[in-house]
């Protein structure tokens, strides 16, 4: 499992949350995870580690976490959002609403922001009996 986890400011999580509720109300996306940052990765990381433990042929899983500060411009954030799975599965007219709201929120902050950012990884060695 590999997950990037920014801890975005409230105004930058409210914007996509509202847009996602409108364009993909049945989406399983957890916009609140953007408020939790790496803390929001605990459950998925634990689930991934447990799944590895339940599979023959892999060693004990390890969890890695790399923290940094993320300074991001409006354009960089919108480019990154285009890679999010939910946006790649929506029709183009719906997709446009989400970055438009996020872009407006970033513009209101002066065109950029800095936030804590973590990368969380779960790994295991293949070919090792647990």
To the nearest whole percent, how much of the chain has pLDDT over 70?
88
Tokens matching residue 70: 């993320």
To the nearest whole percent, how much of the chain has pLDDT over 90?
39
Predicted confidence (pLDDT) at residue 42 exceeds the cutoff of 60: yes
Lowest-confidence segment of 7-16, 27-36, 73-82 by average pLDDT: 27-36
pLDDT, average across residues 23-49: 75
pTM for this entry: 0.72
What residues does 58 pair with on adjacent strands?
Answer: 126
Q: Give the mean pLDDT of the chain.
A: 85
The DSSP letter of residue 64 is E
Are 105 and 15 contacting, i.e. CB atoms less than 8 angstroms apart? yes
The pLDDT of residue 33: 61
Angle of the 74-81 helix axis to the 92-108 helix axis, nearest 10: 150
Q: What is the pLDDT of residues 53-69, one digit of tens each?
A: 999 899 999 999 999 99
Confidence label for 74 from pLDDT (cuts 50, 70 and 90) = very high
Confidence label for 82 from pLDDT (cuts 50, 70 and 90) = confident
Predicted confidence (pLDDT) at residue 130 exceeds the cutoff of 60: no
């Amino acid at each position: 499992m590999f997950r990037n986890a920014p801890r975005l400011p409230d105004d930058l999580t409210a914007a996509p949350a509202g847009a996602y509720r409108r364009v993909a109300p049945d989406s399983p996306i957890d916009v609140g995870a953007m408020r939790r940052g790496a803390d929001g990765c605990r459950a998925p990381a634990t689930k991934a580690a447990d799944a590895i433990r339940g599979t023959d042929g892999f060693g004990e899983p390890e969890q890695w976490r790399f923290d940094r500060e993320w300074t991001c411009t409006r354009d960089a954030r919108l480019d990154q959002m285009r890679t999010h799975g939910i946006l790649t599965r929506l029709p183009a007219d719906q997709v446009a609403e989400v970055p438009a709201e996020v872009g407006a929120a970033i513009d209101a902050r002066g065109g950029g922001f800095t936030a804590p950012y973590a990368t969380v990884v779960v790994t295991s060695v293949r070919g090792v009996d647990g």
